[in-house]
């Protein structure tokens, strides 16, 4: 496959060039790549070619839930207990859906935001991860949180050294949340392997502790603002602490990573260019992800998406996107969906699903998609861009 004449988005400067895909790999980026026999040619003139994005925190199986609870809360433990007391019927109805199907939808929720790599906070089996249409890194240790982990001291002792150790910490605004970074340090769980999710309740001195330890932070502003009316003081962590961006699930967060980008910018006034790196090259560094993750690089994985160029600055365009704007999404060299009206696309689509999104129709060459989507459609009302299947 050759993507001809698009504007390649990078963090150096945009480049108008072709992309040649061979198998799962982005083989070549340069102008006027000669077409070989049997190669599919896609005319990308007037399009941006973005590297696929990375969502650094999600619970894949929780994305059939709408936002639940009655915020604001003081901390996540208070919310968790209230959630089960307040909404047992909703929880039971979602939990009756098989885990594999719930996780499958969580993967597609991410794909519709240009995401092909999801750092899932949970314990899916190897075969379950392999069957999902997104990449789920597995070379890491995971704990839930200081209070909700069955034995947090055991989890800290048994984590794999040299691999990311990911857990929710300081998720709230009260003293319970504010002391957790210090408690984690006292337990021996704060070092360069540590990836702290949320860090809302950072107290005085916590930025220094994070810097000294080398720990990283995953920031989830939409979830934090919903639950607590506040989010992590990321400006105090910069430039010394590595930060990535995550959506959390729709149980507390927003349905798309595109919206999360806008909320991150609006709640912090950090430069868009820096926030864009939080969904591309910074997660690669934090989680040790493969070559080409979050960037278009020869020899890297062929993960990218195309949109029509409507703004001179590709970063500005990224922050304006909605799922319906994606013309084509490719993961590991395989087109996973494309716009039915996108010129020059002639992939085999027999048996494909056709999904309506706000006046557009996306073709999804997955014979199982329609049946699974129909089973779940009553639980997808909190996705405003979805309009249902086209018969």
- The shares of helix, strand and coil residues in the chain, as percent rounded to the nearest 5, are 30, 25, 45
Give the number of domains in the chain: 2
User: What is the model's pLDDT at position 343?
Assistant: 77
DSSP string, 324-383: GGEEEEEETTEEEEEETT-TT-----TT-EEEEETTEEEEE--TTHHHHHHHHGGG-TT-
Whole-number Å distance between alpha carbons of 197 and 168:
5
- Average of per-residue pLDDT across 246-250: 98
Single out the residue in 234, 257, 287 at which a domain terminates.
Answer: 287
**Claim to verify: residue 275 and residue 193 sit in the same structural domain:** yes
Single out the residue in 243, 260, 287 at which a domain terminates.
Answer: 287
**Claim to verify: residue 155 and residue 254 sit in the same structural domain:** yes
pLDDT tens digits, 24-53:
999 999 999 998 888 889 999 999 999 999
With cut-offs at 50, 70 and 90, classify the pLDDT of residue 76.
Answer: very high
With cut-offs at 50, 70 and 90, classify the pLDDT of residue 347.
Answer: confident
Q: Is the pLDDT of residue 11 over 80?
A: no
**Claim to verify: residue 38 and residue 164 sit in the same structural domain:** no
Torsion of CA 66, 71, 76, 82, to 10 degrees: -80
User: What is the model's pLDDT at position 164?
Assistant: 97
- Average of per-residue pLDDT across 81-106: 96
Query: When comparing pLDDT for 45 and 344, which is higher?
Result: 45
Cβ partners under 8 Å of residue 138, min gap 6: 126, 129
User: What is the model's pLDDT at position 9?
Assistant: 95
Query: When comparing pLDDT for 347 and 35, which is higher?
Result: 35
Single out the residue in 238, 254, 287 at which a domain terminates.
Answer: 287
Find tokens 């704007």 and name the residue.
Answer: 325
User: What is the model's pLDDT at position 255?
Assistant: 98
Percent of the chain with pLDDT over 70: 98
Q: Is the pLDDT of residue 285 over 90?
A: yes
Q: Is the pLDDT of residue 344 over 70?
A: no
**Claim to verify: residue 166 and residue 230 sit in the same structural domain:** yes
Q: Is the pLDDT of residue 7 over 80?
A: yes
Nearest-CA neighbor of 155 among 184, 180, 181, 178? 184
pLDDT mean across residues, the chain: 94
**Claim to verify: residue 269 and residue 195 sit in the same structural domain:** yes
User: What is the model's pLDDT at position 52?
Assistant: 98
Q: Report the CATH number that the domain containing residue 379 is assigned in CATH.
A: 2.30.40.10
**Claim to verify: residue 60 and residue 43 sit in the same structural domain:** no
Report residue 112: phi and psi, to 5°.
-70, -5
- Average of per-residue pLDDT across 213-235: 97
**Claim to verify: residue 282 and residue 135 sit in the same structural domain:** yes
**Claim to verify: residue 304 and residue 233 sit in the same structural domain:** no
pLDDT tens digits, 114-143:
999 999 999 887 667 889 999 999 999 999
43: containing domain: 2-52+294-389
**Claim to verify: residue 377 and residue 281 sit in the same structural domain:** no
pLDDT tens digits, 369-380:
999 999 999 999
- Average of per-residue pLDDT across 235-261: 97
Alpha helices in the chain (DSSP H): 76-86, 88-95, 99-111, 126-130, 152-158, 175-178, 180-186, 206-213, 221-228, 234-237, 257-268, 272-277, 281-287, 314-318, 369-376
**Claim to verify: residue 222 and residue 118 sit in the same structural domain:** yes
Q: Is the pLDDT of residue 301 over 80?
A: yes
User: What is the model's pLDDT at position 391?
Assistant: 75
User: What is the model's pLDDT at position 299?
Assistant: 95
With cut-offs at 50, 70 and 90, classify the pLDDT of residue 281.
Answer: very high
pLDDT tens digits, 152-195:
999 999 999 999 999 999 999 999 999 999 999 999 999 999 99
Whole-number Å distance between alpha carbons of 199 and 87:
26
**Claim to verify: residue 157 and residue 268 sit in the same structural domain:** yes
User: What is the model's pLDDT at position 176?
Assistant: 96
**Claim to verify: residue 125 and residue 222 sit in the same structural domain:** yes
Q: Is the pLDDT of residue 259 over 70?
A: yes
Q: Is the pLDDT of residue 350 over 80?
A: no
Torsion of CA 365, 370, 372, 373, to 10 degrees: 110
């Amino acid at each position: 496959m050759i993507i001809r004449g698009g504007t390649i988005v990078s963090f150096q400067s945009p480049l108008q060039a072709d992309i040649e895909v061979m198998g799962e790999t982005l083989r070549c980026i340069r102008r006027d790549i000669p077409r070989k026999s049997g190669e599919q040619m896609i005319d990308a003139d007037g399009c941006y070619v973005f590297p696929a994005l990375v969502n650094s925190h999600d619970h894949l199986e929780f994305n059939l839930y709408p936002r639940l609870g009655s915020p604001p809360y003081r901390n996540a433990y208070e919310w968790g207990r209230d959630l089960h007391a307040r909404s047992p019927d909703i929880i039971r109805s979602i939990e009756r859906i098989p885990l594999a199907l719930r996780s499958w939808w969580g993967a597609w929720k991410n794909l519709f935001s240009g995401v092909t790599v999801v750092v899932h906070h949970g314990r899916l089996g190897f075969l379950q991860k392999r069957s999902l249409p997104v990449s789920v890194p597995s070379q890491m240790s995971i704990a839930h949180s200081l209070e909700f982990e069955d034995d947090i001291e055991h989890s800290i002792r048994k984590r794999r050294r040299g691999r990311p150790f990911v857990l929710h910490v300081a998720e709230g605004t009260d003293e319970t949340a504010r002391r957790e970074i210090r408690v984690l340090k006292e337990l021996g769980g704060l070092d360069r392997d540590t990836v702290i999710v949320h860090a809302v309740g950072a107290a005085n001195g916590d930025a220094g502790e994070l810097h000294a330890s080398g720990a990283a932070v995953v920031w989830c502003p939409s979830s934090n603002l919903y639950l607590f009316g506040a989010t992590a003081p990321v400006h105090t962590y910069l430039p010394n602490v590595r930060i990535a961006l995550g959506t959390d699930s729709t149980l507390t967060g927003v349905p798309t990573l595109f919206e999360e980008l806008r909320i991150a910018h609006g709640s912090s006034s950090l430069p868009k260019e820096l926030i864009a790196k939080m969904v591309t090259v910074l997660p690669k560094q934090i989680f040790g992800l493969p070559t080409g993750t979050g960037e278009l690089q020869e020899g890297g994985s062929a993960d990218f998406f195309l949109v029509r160029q409507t703004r001179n600055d590709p970063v500005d365009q990224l922050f304006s996107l909605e799922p319906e704007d994606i013309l084509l999404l490719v993961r590991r060299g395989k087109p996973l969906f494309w716009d039915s009206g996108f010129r020059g696309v002639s992939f085999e689509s027999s048996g494909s699903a056709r999904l309506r999104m706000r006046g557009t129709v996306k073709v999804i060459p997955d014979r199982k998609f329609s049946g699974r989507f129909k089973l779940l459609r009553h639980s997808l009302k909190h996705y405003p861009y979805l309009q249902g299947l086209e018969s």
